[in-house]
Chains A and B, each alone.
Chain A
Amino acid sequence: MTVHSSLEKRFRKLKANSKGFSSVIGTTFMVIVVMFLSTSVFLWTLSQNTIYNEAVRARNQEEADRRSENVVASGGNYSVSGDDVTVKVVLKNAGSVAVQIVNLWVLDSAPSNRRYTNKSLNLNLKSGDVLNLVGSSGLNVTIPGADPSHNFASWFVTAKGNTIPLEKEQGVIVAQLAQGIGSIALDFYTFRYYLYESSTKLANYPDGTISFNSPKGTPIAYGCKLTNLDPTKETITLNSHSVIWQPSVGVGVECVWYIVNVQPDGTINGTYSNITLAYGETQLLIFASGNDLGTSSFKQVKTPTSVGIMPTFLLLHGSIGSRAYGQNLPFVSIYYS
């Protein structure tokens, strides 16, 4: 009871006394200001740290994605025609993330011609996708001074900055295989025929019509792409005796188309000058004349008038390096209709 009355008395005295009031207000204000500012700065710093951590997390994710890219460029091969280098390759996305390929670099590493070029690409590969850039789908680049005997290196660049080196196909195996049947290989998928626009001019040259079916009873010419895969890497020269030959089986009529030289507009030259194929080089060769242009003049060849299938042989003749060369490619069958 005494304590209570004493406290009551003190409280009344405190209420009645106005001394120190400003200090109380000032202190309260200061405490509020300090709490307000420190809280806001703390929360703001926390939010900035969160933003930074988010950026670090995103960066780590990108790095993980980048490391997950796994594209294999296998079966690489180069064919050279003039300054044009065709890169043939099979791309396989063996990784777990989709990959965008944005660039191809090709380097001619021959000491005499250290040049390089690049080609912009936009190839998108999902996981497990396989992209066959072979045959006519090969990637063409231009390197001045390129030669089939040169060594090339190439690599792809992905959008995430990885590089994919092209693993070159074992050229010796290809060449050895070629040696088993001859040093020249045929690209089956580009075999074509041409109709005539005039007596000595091919229509739709050089595209023609890629097919193993030809119109019967019609003057046509044939075209095919041949590659020199000679294991000794020597140049092959084809003379005027080279011919596409169809024996008199099938529809019973023998036909021959001798090799010719064709101008870029499709006009067939009246005479023939030897065609050379450097090692690794691919060329489109045209067979059109009923006569050997080395000994006679150009003559169109009509296809058989009957419907039926014909075996077709490619008889190549000339020289390889300084040696004589002859090859018989039993290569396609053609159906006339």
Chain B
Amino acid sequence: MKLKGIECLGMDLRKTWKLVRERRAISVVVSNVILTGAVIAASFVVLYWTQYRSSVYNEQFSEAMNADIARLKERLAFEFVFYNYSGSGLSVYLMNCGTVDDVTIQTVYVKDATGVLIRVSSSITLMHFNGTQIADKDLDRGEEGYFVLSSLNPLLTGASYSVRVVTGRGSSFDSTFVA
């Protein structure tokens, strides 16, 4: 019984040795392994690249979407628009009655009733109602503030004008006043 086992072991060793020494078809196996490895490596590269591109796309889309949502939440109420004959200044009193903070004023347009542009101003200084400057230069939720457009060309008394306020996020709000 023991002798038979030793014979079997000898046969296995011989087969293994024969397999090791066999050179036929080895190039096919190696090439398949290399090819498969290359394909898997290339696939991972493609996966990484597509994931990178999709994350960039997601990020851009997310930023655009958040900007849209913030713009949607913006709302400014015109509490009062007052034109001062003597000082040729236009005071515009605003309140942020939207649901988003940090509403900045980018540009202000003043037009007459026919739509002719009277004044465009992009350097707006926001003030509290008590006359002090708003430190963070924006209106948070519920915050009130005003700005003055000085050195305005004299407006016609009794004529109607419109004022458009464009925020930093791109929303625009309009009001009319009579000089």
Contact = CB atoms under 8 A, between A and B. Distances in A.
Interface stretch (B61-69, B102-110, B118-126, B132-140): B61-69
Interface in B76-135: 76-77, 79-80, 82, 84-85, 93, 95, 97, 99, 129
9 contacts: A26-B39, A26-B42, A33-B50, A55-B72, A58-B73, A105-B80, A114-B85, A118-B129, A157-B77
A22 B79 CA distance: 72
Contact of A22 (B35, B73, B95, B97): B35
Contact of B54 (A37, A51, A52): A37
B39 A161 contact: no
Contact of A55 (B46, B73, B144): B73
Interface residues of A, number: 36
A4 B72 CA distance: 68
A33 B69 contact: no
Nearest to A56: B72
Chain B: interface residue count, which band? 35 or more
Interface string A49-74: 00110011011001000000000000
A26 B36 CA distance: 8
Contacts of B62: 48
A120 B128 CA distance: 12
Contact of B43 (A30, A55, A160): A30
A37 B50 contact: yes
A159 B82 CA distance: 21
Given A56-B72, A161-B77, A163-B79, A48 B61 contact: yes
A161 B73 contact: no
A22 B54 contact: no
Contacts of B95: 102-103, 157, 161
